[in-house]
Amino acid sequence: MKTPPLPFRLSPTRVALAAVVLAAVLPGQDRPSRPRRGAEPPVIGKDTSPPPAEPTTRPAGQAAGAAGGAGQLPGAVPAGADDPSPPRPLPPLPAPLFDDDRPLLRVDGVEIRAGELSELVRYYRSFRPGSDSLLLRDAVRALVPAKVCEAAFAADLPAMRERIEEARAALAGGADFARVAAKLSDDREAPTPDGRYTFGREQAVQPFDRLAFSGRTGELKGPFLTKYGYHLLEIVSYQRAEAARDDRSTVRHILVMYPQLREAADPRAEIARRVAACRIEILDPGLRNVLPPELRDRVGADG
């Protein structure tokens, strides 16, 4: 079937005029355009990392990186009010994994601390089977890429932090989430203007995944770092299933991406390449056996 001809001629003058008009009225056009990277957004979807150490029936899938403070957006459910669908409470660990929040690993010079590993293991334990050592191995696997990128792109962090703090201040002041996202977010693959996603556990990078299933509806979390950059995340709603592993969360978020990843043709491949060349230092000898197998040859490597 032939495409019908246009009812007018697209002269060069008309094309140029249309471009000027569109640039003036479309939001978020003040930043350089870039090609879309595919159907899956950078934060949600399958990663290139290996599967977890112990299979489960689930979907495939901090200084600078600290999770930051949590705040309530205007109109959010206040503390103490009845939340129609609250998150599942995290169970206590049978025993503390570590005595204090000391650095345990160093990845390209950036520390992984006991506290962030313990938080992630506690989250995993709320819906996954497995021993603490296996869950700890998966926690290390999940956090190493973020540390690699934090080290590689350290020079970009101050400007990125300034931009994400601008977004947080605007939201705290009552600005429309979609307008703030259009101006400041680098996620151009979200299905809605306000960067909204609904997803299951472990279908997002860490700690985005953990924070999306921890907190009250309307709570703003961040800024925090993932391997893609800085995020702000607001919990919109939860859908609790019969089994905790099948719960789903709806969030909206703002992403300030590392510039080199933002411009990369395939950010996941670029991150995987850097992880494969990283250098890991073990600061606690007891952690040598909980390193994922694919990372053990990076201990003491020159990169």
Hey, what are 243's tokens? 């089994």
- As a whole number of angstroms, the distance between CA 7 and CA 85 comes to 53
Q: How far is CA 43 from CA 91, 146, 225, in A?
A: 26, 12, 12
Q: Are 102 and 113 in contact (CB under 8 A)?
A: yes
The kind and range of the H/E element at 63 are none
Upstream peptide bond of 94 is cis (omega within 30 degrees of 0): no
Report how far residue 295's alpha carbon sits from residue 144's, in angstroms, rounded to the nearest whole number: 9
Where do we find the tokens 């510039």? 259
Burial class of residue 165, CB neighbours in 10 A (0-12, 13-18, 19+): middle
The pTM (predicted TM-score) of the whole model is 0.75
Question: Across the strands, what pairs with 231?
Answer: 224, 255
| pLDDT string in tens for the chain (303-residue length) | 444 443 434 444 444 444 433 343 334 444 444 334 334 555 665 444 444 444 333 333 334 444 555 555 544 444 444 555 677 878 776 677 888 899 999 999 999 999 999 999 999 999 999 888 999 999 999 999 999 999 999 999 999 999 999 999 999 999 999 999 999 999 978 889 999 999 999 999 999 999 999 888 898 999 999 999 999 999 999 999 999 999 999 999 999 999 999 999 999 999 999 999 999 999 988 888 889 999 999 998 654
Distance (Å, rounded) from C-alpha 215 to C-alpha 88? 9
Contacts of 98 (CB under 8 A, 6+ apart): 104, 114, 117, 118
